[in-house]
Amino acid sequence: MFTEEQIPELLAQLTLEEKCSLLSGSDFWHTQPVERLGIPALMVSDGPHGLRKQAVGADEMGLEESAPATCFPTAAALASTWDVTLLTEIGRALAEEAKAQGVGVILGPGVNLKRSPLCGRNFEYFSEDPLLAGELAAALAAGIQSGGVGTSVKHFAANNQETDRMRTNARIDERTLREIYLSIFERIIERARPATLMCSYNRINDVYSSENRWLLTEVLREEWGFDGLVMTDWGRSTTVSQESPPGWTWKCRPRTAGTTGSSPRPSGQAPWTNPTWTGPSRACCGWSPGTTGKHPRNTSISGPTTNWPARPHREAPCCLRTKGRRSPCPGSVTSWSSGRWPAPPDIRGPDRRR
């Protein structure tokens, strides 16, 4: 690897294309390499409670086989010890295993607060209390990084439920955000200086975390002085140039993100102002960019479907399953034919983990 003194020289040698390539993953677990300058692909891996490295056959749900690793108690159990020294020692042990497996960054710890007994990740969050969670998570992160392995503290911020987490909107006033939900991250940054932070999927007060200038620039960078890397959670992409995108967008499975800014809308409507759901996918109903004419399932309507960017089958709202049934295709909403942009159906699928 390189020393800090060599980094400015390397940056000066990178082309614009090479710099841009460093902002996304090359596959499910690796960053993009720059072989011309000897910059290797960096491997990241799950592992707050035991490294989960998938050498081959990487998958989102963790169904493929992982390399053997020590299984440590979950954050919920470790928080019950109130033992900062113990958390630091566990961090050092995790770093040793990560280095042995060639992992450069551990995706954790998860430090969101427990706000509902139905949250599918409560076991891997520390506490209901930001002080306790912040102290213990800072100790764990410091222990990992003392061994030369980076951490990615997550999920920044207000990821307190798993149900519908890709679209949910957490409405929280600023005082509550700062005193409860953000104070835990501020404490960890001050105590441990983590190498990276990972954005949450959800919106905060109508703006997605990965596109939230107030959160990522004004608070994180300018007020707290965080100089590490900010990455998106897996599958999330951002295209809002007027906002503050994260430093590292993990989109190793490319997809079309929400249309924003001056992108086209149906005739007579104002430009986009916020990231918005953009219509059905090709796999769902057959419409995709460049397609014109009748809707394949409702021939009574037709329209300029170039205004409907495609979305992956698994992310299109009309393709999410609820109790084994599909909801109606949103393209068949009759309000579309009258010139109004249809809202996505209210679908709440099963609790899912990254």
Residues with active-site annotation? 233
How far apart are the C-alpha atoms of 129 and 114, rounded to whole Å?
A: 8
The phi and psi torsions of 310 (rounded to 5 degrees) equal: -75, 150
Q: Which residues pair with 303 in a beta bridge?
A: 293
How far apart are the C-alpha atoms of 340 and 354, rounded to whole Å?
A: 34
Burial class of residue 118 (count of CB atoms within 10 Å of its CB; 0-12, 13-18, 19+): exposed
Distances (CA, A) of 201 to 64, 152, 232: 24, 15, 8
The answer to whether the Cα torsion of 96, 190, 205, 307 is positive or negative is: negative
8 Å CB contact between 311 and 282: no
Q: Count of CB atoms within 10 A of residue 59's CB?
A: 9
How far apart are the C-alpha atoms of 139 and 136, rounded to whole Å?
A: 5
Helices (H) and strands (E) in the chain, counts: 9, 12
The answer to whether the Cα torsion of 259, 59, 40, 111 is positive or negative is: positive
DSSP symbol at 175: H
- Which positions ≥6 away from 277 have C-beta within 8 Å? 167, 258, 317, 343, 344
Task: Name the strands in the sheet holding 203-204, side by side, starting at the edge strand that comes first in the sequence.
Answer: 169-170, 203-204, 207-208
Q: Which of 216, 214, 146, 131 is nearest to 180 (CA)?
A: 131
